[in-house]
């Protein structure tokens, strides 16, 4: 009996963590024909309560014949084994390599029992190893398939965004169980002029079986399902998602809702799917991609990554859970109970537990080192600053570098900790303080975007004369912009503390605090706006006459 109880508790814990992990990331995908300037773009929010936000960098290297690469699981640091190294690997900044290839992911989990516990390649290692080896999105997909076939796939079901300077693909993969090497997968090229998205729910349903230009897949993706008894129809009717990761309430409400929110902002007639994303009609599925009503800029994608469902039926600022200051966040767990009934919080794209996020921009009219820009930010996408890191850079800003602090070690020179200080303070009085944060955020990002044509021009001219000189230039620029972001955010944190201390709001003009007219060290008396009227009404409703003032004693 005791053993059964322990097993039951373990299953409960596994289920809880599965819910957490399977609603953890968001990706948006934009093709050349759907972007304002003809670039491809993908975005990624790496959401985890234990992931430290830092900018990974791996320089290009040559490797001796017979070299091996040690593999450690990205999520946990667990040693998984080793694989053969290739003769040369490319430099990688974050999730983008020097050839403008970029990869992002979201975890959907899928059918239980399909994780190969003997596999060596986890999903994180799969991304970063592939980036070191691939010159195009198509080559990246083939490398990913080959790696898991040779060494085994250690993770659960994943959706990947894979882009280069010309193409954007969505790839979905899941293992075949313990000791069964390889994975079943499908990859579809997003039609030019269209956009797509995924957010922790498998999205590929049926796919063309004889169109290798636009669709690649594992040869046993259908036959494996037949062997398991999960599919017995015609090959043309096979649905990857319905077979390996059927959508349920959480898949729709916590995951597909984020896709819908993006689609609804760029396309038409999205209201027809609201019953689906609310979890009421799981058969009314969203399309895999849509043609946007207008072309999108990198600034647009940054904005969409900051979405809290504003203006939709899932707007997180409108119910009592938002508190008096309209906070669009809910602390975990995602689901909860009252009187034996299950309830949930919404899961928006912008969330408090983001380690890092990015928007990539791959441009085919510029040399690769210059054409690829990795717009990188740490912590909550809503309060981060996307700072340009050119993909040809040879070093990263110290404030963003790996090893400058971690999730249990505070560092005053770490961008991650500095952004967390600002965000977590802002959460206390969000509706007011977020305006100050957004103002500085937009000043920086507007500056970076305006600088881009001039930086591109100088870098491209230098590239024609001396490639290494151009590389030094984009490195210096990227590092200096990272330093500017950090220093600006540090000062912003200090400003917010002084302005909003103890629930007051000090009077200021253009960032300068007003004094009392007699001493520059004594401020003008601060504003004390109190709570909104609707909140006071809730207090009276809850407490009755307990707080009522009697007589003239006020």
What pTM value is reported for the model? 0.94
Specify whether the CB–CB gap between 482 and 399 falls below 8 A.
Answer: yes
499 shares its domain with 454: yes
Please state, in angstroms and rounded to a whole number, the distance separating the CA atoms of residues 191 and 147: 27
For 442, the domain range is: 401-503
Please state, in angstroms and rounded to a whole number, the distance separating the CA atoms of residues 282 and 273: 10
Give the pLDDT score at 6: 36
Number of domains in the chain: 3
Give the pLDDT score at 554: 59
The residue from 344, 363, 391 where one domain ends is 344
Give the pLDDT score at 418: 99
* Residue 86 exposed, middle or buried by CB count within 10 Å (0-12, 13-18, 19+): middle
Q: Which residues contact 109 (CB under 8 A, 6 or more apart)?
A: 18, 21, 22, 156, 157, 200, 245
Backbone dihedral angles phi then psi of residue 414, each to the nearest 5 degrees: -90, 130
- Return the axis-axis angle of helices 415-426 and 430-465, rounded to nearest 10°: 150
528 shares its domain with 469: no
Cβ count near 142 (within 10 Å): 14
DSSP state of 121: B
User: Within a domain: residue 381?
Assistant: no
For 326-337, write each residue's pLDDT tens digit: 999 999 999 999
User: Within a domain: residue 37?
Assistant: yes
User: Within a domain: residue 395?
Assistant: no
User: Within a domain: residue 492?
Assistant: yes
Going from the C-alpha of 136 to that of each of 99, 190, 243, 369, 433, the distances in angstroms are 7, 15, 29, 14, 43
Specify whether the CB–CB gap between 367 and 88 falls below 8 A.
Answer: no
Tokens for 214, please give them: 């636009």
239 shares its domain with 323: yes
User: Within a domain: residue 372?
Assistant: no
Give the pLDDT score at 283: 97
Specify whether the CB–CB gap between 68 and 85 falls below 8 A.
Answer: yes
529 shares its domain with 429: no
218 shares its domain with 85: yes
User: Within a domain: residue 72?
Assistant: yes
Buried b (16+ CB within 10 A) or exposed e, 276-300: bbbbeeeeebbebbbebeebbbbbb
* Residue 450 exposed, middle or buried by CB count within 10 Å (0-12, 13-18, 19+): exposed
Please state, in angstroms and rounded to a whole number, the distance separating the CA atoms of residues 400 and 80: 27
User: Within a domain: residue 554?
Assistant: no
448 shares its domain with 320: no
Please state, in angstroms and rounded to a whole number, the distance separating the CA atoms of residues 345 and 331: 9
Give the chain's count of helices (H) and strands (E): 14, 23
Tokens for 305, please give them: 């990554």
| Residue reference for tokens 């505070």 | 410
The strand order across the sheet containing 183-189 reads 57-58, 92-93, 96-97, 102-109, 157-163, 168-175, 183-189, 215-217
CA dihedral 244, 245, 246, 252 (to 10 degrees): -160
The residue from 344, 378, 413 where one domain ends is 344
Specify whether the CB–CB gap between 373 and 389 falls below 8 A.
Answer: yes
497 shares its domain with 516: no
User: Within a domain: residue 535?
Assistant: yes
425 shares its domain with 462: yes
468 shares its domain with 531: no
257 shares its domain with 406: no
Give the pLDDT score at 551: 85
For 440-478, write each residue's pLDDT tens digit: 999 999 999 999 999 999 999 999 999 999 999 999 999
192 shares its domain with 258: yes
Give the pLDDT score at 23: 55
454 shares its domain with 305: no
Residues of the chain with pLDDT under 50: 1-22
């Amino acid at each position: 009996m005791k053993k059964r109880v322990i097993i039951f508790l373990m299953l409960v814990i596994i289920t809880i963590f599965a819910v957490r992990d399977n609603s953890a990331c968001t990706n948006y995908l934009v093709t050349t024909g759907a972007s304002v300037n003809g670039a491809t773009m993908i975005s990624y929010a790496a959401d985890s309560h234990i992931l430290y936000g830092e900018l990974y960098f791996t320089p290009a290297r040559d490797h001796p014949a017979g070299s091996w690469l040690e593999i450690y699981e990205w999520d946990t640091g667990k040693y998984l084994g080793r694989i053969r190294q290739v003769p040369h690997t490319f430099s990688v900044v974050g999730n983008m390599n020097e050839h403008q290839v970029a990869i992002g992911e979201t975890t959907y989990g899928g059918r239980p029992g399909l994780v190969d516990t003997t596999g060596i390649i986890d999903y994180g290692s799969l991304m970063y190893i592939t980036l070191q080896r691939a010159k195009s999105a198509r080559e990246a997909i083939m490398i990913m398939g080959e790696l898991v076939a040779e060494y085994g796939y250690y993770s659960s079901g994943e959706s990947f965004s894979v882009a280069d300077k010309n193409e954007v693909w969505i790839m979905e993969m899941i293992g075949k169980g313990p000791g069964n090497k390889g994975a079943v997968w499908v990859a579809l090229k997003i039609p030019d002029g269209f956009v797509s998205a995924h957010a922790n729910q498998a999205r590929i349903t049926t796919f063309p079986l004889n169109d290798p230009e636009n669709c690649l897949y594992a040869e046993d993706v259908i036959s494996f399902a037949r062997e398991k008894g999960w599919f017995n129809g015609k090959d043309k009717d096979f649905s990857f998602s319905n077979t390996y990761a059927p959508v349920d309430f959480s898949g729709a409400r916590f995951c597909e809702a984020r896709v819908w929110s993006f689609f609804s902002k760029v396309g038409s007639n999205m209201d027809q799917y609201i019953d689906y994303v609310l979890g009421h009609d799981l058969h009314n599925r969203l399309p895999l991609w849509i043609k946007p009503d207008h072309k999108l800029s990198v600034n647009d994608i940054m904005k969409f990554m900051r979405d809290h469902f504003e203006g939709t039926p899932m707007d997180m600022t409108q119910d009592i859970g938002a508190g008096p200051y309209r906070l669009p966040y809910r602390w975990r767990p995602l689901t909860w109970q009252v009187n034996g009934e299950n309830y949930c919080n919404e899961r928006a794209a912008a969330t408090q537990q983001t380690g890092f996020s990015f928007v990539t921009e791959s441009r085919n009219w510029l040399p690769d080192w210059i054409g690829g820009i990795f717009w990188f930010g740490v912590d909550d996408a809503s309060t981060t600053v996307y700072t340009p890191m050119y993909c040809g850079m040879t070093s990263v800003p110290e404030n963003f570098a790996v090893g400058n602090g971690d999730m249990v070690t505070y560092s005053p020179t770490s961008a991650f900790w500095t952004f967390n200080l600002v965000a977590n303070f802002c959460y206390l009085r969000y509706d007011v303080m977020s305006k100050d944060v957004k103002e500085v955020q937009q000043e920086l990002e507007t500056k970076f975007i305006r600088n881009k044509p001039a930086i591109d021009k100088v870098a491209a001219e230098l590239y024609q004369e001396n490639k290494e000189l151009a590389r030094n230039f984009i490195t210096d620029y990227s590092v200096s912009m990272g330093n500017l972001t950090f220093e600006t955010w540090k000062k912003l944190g200090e400003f917010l503390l002084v302005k909003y201390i103890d629930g007051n709001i000090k009077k200021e003009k253009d960032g300068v605090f007003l004094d009392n007219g007699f001493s520059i060290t004594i401020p003008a008396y601060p504003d004390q706006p109190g709570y909104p009227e609707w909140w006071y009404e809730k207090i009276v409703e809850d407490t009755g006459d307990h707080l009522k003032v009697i007589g003239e004693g006020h």
